[in-house]
Structure 1
Amino acid sequence: MDILGMLPSFGGFVGSAVAFIIALSVIVAIHEYGHYIVGRWCGIHAEVFSLGFGPVLYSRVDKRGTRWQLAALPFGGYVKFLGDSDAASGKDGDAISGLSDTERKRTMHGADLWRRAATVAAGPVFNFILSIFVFAGIFLFSGTTTDEAVIGQLKPLPGPVDMFEPGDRILRVGDSDITNLEDFYVAAREAEAAEIMSYDVERDGQFLSFDSVYPFPPVIDQLQPKSAAMDGGLEVGDVIQSVNGNPVFALSQVQDAAQANKDSPLELLVWRNGEVLEKTLTPRQRDLPTADGFETRWLIGFSGGAFFEPTRETLGAGDALWGGVRQTWFIAKSSLSGMWHMVTGAISSCNIQGPIGIAQTSGDMASQGPTQFIWFIAVLSTAVGLLNLFPIPVLDGGHLVFHAFEAVSGRPPSDKALNALMMGGLFLLLSLMVFALTNDFFCS
């Protein structure tokens, strides 16, 4: 049974909640398992591995004495090691004082420094590993486009695309000669928007010339979560035929209209499987990453492409894995850049989402199919791993700072200083959560 495919039928709220719980549970389970397994390899005993908080719904104790449990509140998880006073790895001084030297070595507070540091760092590292392998798996499954301007599959459009056939090699678009796919994209970007374009193609050794649709028609290939397009009921495969009564033939015309109208409503005529629908959408302001930082634009919230899917080729395992590494690095780098631009005021702080916003995004991605949802889980896993490395007490990054202090000074912070820093970190983290939750309500 395709559980993800059933999410939209639950309705917006329930579907988003279920998708969010699934995504968060996977990410938290991998994160906490990283702590657990590296801790076990380092000889540190885990007393409890919990997925969720609150009342325990199910538990069992394995042969190593670790209690594995599922709790009622599926909004996180933790590993409680021997000698911990709580889920945040606070020190239980009374419990540790009653342990022998050998037993103390099996705690998070008595083990060698490198063992403790490795155990703490393993959580975020496992999040990054999850992202890399998910991206690599998607690349391996879907392959990559070839560099040839050859039609792999035509998209269903209302215009005269039936002139083409899969396998056609495009040789000319308008006045531009085409030798590869990049040439086609350049010609499409430079061509003036028109209802009809002329094409030369090679088909089974024959050379044909005919007129067909604009190379980049206003067809929806992917919807952006929490966008006007998603909330307004647009679907993948929809073709926008007019904006405010003006016929459009190119994706760029829709983008220009949204930018020009800003937050004024747009009246759209949309073709969907032979039926023409009327939609009214208001563009939303968004900050988009660029090579030089970020660009603020007004968007409906969808992406498109050519009137056809190019031919694809399979990737080797090594290339797919390297693609996963690069994609994970890109997300981490973009996230850090976005945070810096928010701190400096270059972009809006509304880019920070709280649990409600993330849940809505989860539901929006799940509604577009399993691949999009799994991709989102990998993106969110990278973000969770990155956030946990921030040098804030309570987070893994804060613990690593304490370990670094111990490595330099030769002694850990005092219990008094540690408790004060942990309380300060908790206050900072809760403040950030309240701020993000406020954004969920007041930022569109």
Structure 2
Amino acid sequence: MDLSQLLASTGDGVMTILFFIIALSVIVAIHEYGHYIVGRWCGISADVFSVGFGPTLLSRVDKRGTRWQIAAIPFGGYVKFAGDKNAASVGGEEVEGAGPARNTMLGAPLWARALTVAAGPIANFILAVFIFAGFFLIQGQPTAKLIVASQHELPVGFESELLAGDEILFVDGIDLMSSEGPYLDSLPDAQYRTYTIIRDGEQIEVSGPNPFVPRIASLLPRSAADDADLKIDDVITAIDGTSVYTFDQIIEGVEAGGGGEITLDVWRDGDVIQLELTPRRVDNPLPDGGFEQRLLIGVTGEYFFIPTTEPVGIVEAFSRAFGRLWFAIRLSLEGIWQVIVGGISTCNISGPIAIAEASGSMASQGATSYILFVGMISVAIGLFNLFPIPILDGGHLVFYAYEAIAGQKPTDRALRIFMSIGLSLIGALMIFAILNDLVLCP
């Protein structure tokens, strides 16, 4: 049984919470382990490593004296280093029973404290890179020649004469593998296209649907399509009674509706059903940076045939993974800035409820989608923790930068004030995000 079947056979709400807890626990555990292991390498002892908060469910003490525990409230975790007053790594006035001061967070050199604090977000980025690299290694890359490996199941009206092993040279005279590929969308919409192929060493022409049929390859969580119960492998055959043969016609039909409710004829598992949905205005990221507000329903498409692939080398996989990491960081920072200056909607700020729903939605699309989602959330949590807000890792790094420049630590009174401000900011942001999830941007 795959994840989608499991989600369907059990209560959606229960499974959504479960997948959210799994994702959050993995991400937090990796984040905190980054703090722990670098702290240990830097000679700082850890008293507690906890996954979750509240009463302890399971625990053990290792030979170094660190208590590893799983707590009852699974929404987070922490490392309490020797010398910390609490899990926020706030130094205590005194250190009792922690060994030499050098082994405590309070007495460690500045460089050791800074590395230990920075290691948490960096661990999140490393987790994301390994997830992305694993995806590229498993997925592979298309071969230099466009060869059909298999085809997705499609309804009547989308018949294809292509066979597995066919090498596609042209579609209506256009080479999909060249810079001409995007121009296929500029051709008049037609139910069928002419494919020039090589089969058994002979060049022939066969008929088939547009390469980009109106089949749903993926769904965005909390999108109009997701809320309307569209599913992966659904084929949209008509919008408001008008037949649809290409994925581009979905975009045109959505825009033609002007944002009003539209009716979709959807082919699913051999039957045609009707679904109604209302497209939403979404701040859509552009490939070269920036955002564009468009009417979208939140679906993506792909070729109706599955091209053959070849393995990707480890170096290439990690190179692409770092590229995806940088893209995610850049997109997040640009999005935050656009929210601040009013360039895009504050609805782009999601809280735990939206993230939990997204966890369940991505899990229902399969293990690959869910694991990639975990990678993206790991990037977001790592980046968020680097913000220069007291209580967060970035706030601690700002204090350490002050200490390096001024030659002394901030006073305890200043730290308490800044920590209170940071806690208030985080609390206000969390309340706003939850309001977005429940009321403002449901």
CA distance in 2, matches of 1:3, 1:210: 38
Single out whichever of 200-209 and 37-46 deviates more from structure 2.
200-209
* Unmatched runs of 5 consecutive residues or more in structure 1: none
SS in 2 for 1:105: helix
1:204-243 equivalences in 2 (<5 Å): 204-243=200-239
1:47 aligns with 2:47: yes
CA drift at 1:5:
5.1
Q: Per-residue deviation at 1:184?
A: 6.6
User: Deviations for 1:13-48, whole angstroms, at most 9, x for unmatched residues?
Assistant: 212111110000000000000000110111101000
Letter in 1 for 2:102: K
2:157 counterpart of 1:195? no
Q: Is the 8 A contact 1:218 1:249 kept in 2?
A: yes
Do residues 354 (structure 1) and 354 (structure 2) align? no
Q: Which runs of 5+ in 2 are unaligned?
A: none
Asked whether the 8 Å contact 1:188–1:216 carries over to 2, the reply is: no
Alignment of 1:383 with 2:380, yes or no, is yes
Indicate the residue corresponding to 1:171 in structure 2: 169
After alignment, is 275-284 or 46-55 more displaced? 275-284
Residue of structure 2 equivalent to 1:255:
251
Measured on the aligned residues, the alpha-carbon RMSD in Å equals: 1.6
TM-score by length of 1: 0.95
Letter in 2 for 1:171: L
The offset of 1:301, in angstroms, is 1.2
Q: 1:416 aligns with which of 399, 413, 417?
A: 413
Asked if 1:298 corresponds to 2:318, the answer is no
Segment drifting more, 129-138 vs 159-168: 159-168
SS of the aligned residue for 1:403 comes to: helix
- Distance of aligned partners of 1:366 and 1:193 in 2 relative to their CA distance in 1, 3 Å threshold: same
| Equivalent in the alignment of 1:309 | 306
Aligned partner of residue 163 in structure 1, secondary structure: coil
Q: Percent identity?
A: 49
Distance in 2 (alpha carbons) for counterparts of 1:203 and 1:392 = 62
Residue 26 of structure 1: aligned partner: 26
1:231-270 deviation digits (Å, cap 9, x = unpaired): 2121111111100001111111111221232431111111
Q: In structure 1, what is the equivalent of residue 121 of structure 2?
A: 124
Name the counterpart of 2:109. Answer: 112
Contact 1:220 1:239 in 2 (8 A): yes
Residues 253 and 403 (structure 1), Cα distance of their counterparts in 2 relative to 1, 3 Å cut: same
- 1:160 offset after TM fit, Å? 4.6
What pairs up with 1:363-382 in 2 under 5 angstroms? 363-382=360-379
Post-superposition offset of 1:99 = 6.6
Alignment correspondent of 1:12: 12
Deviation, 1:296, is 0.9
Query: Which residue of 1 is the match for residue 92 of structure 2?
Result: 92
Find the partner of 2:320 among 302, 318, 323.
Answer: 323
Q: For residues 365-407 of structure 1, what are the alpha-carbon distances to aligned partners after superposition, in whole Å with 9 as ceiling and x for unaligned?
A: 0011111000000000000000000000000000000111111
3-state SS of the aligned residue for 1:270?
Answer: strand
C-alpha deviation, 1:187, in angstroms: 4.0
1:342 is aligned, of 318, 339, 359, to 339
Please tell me the residue identity of whatever aligns with 2:161. M
SS in 2 for 1:201: strand
Measure, in 1, the Cα distance between the counterparts of 2:277 and 2:234.
14
The structural deviation recorded for 1:215 is 2.2
Structure 1 counterpart of 2:149: 152
Give the deviation of 1:148 after TM superposition.
Answer: 2.4
Partner of 2:178: 182
- The alpha carbon displacement at 1:53 in A equals 0.6
TM-score by length of 2: 0.96
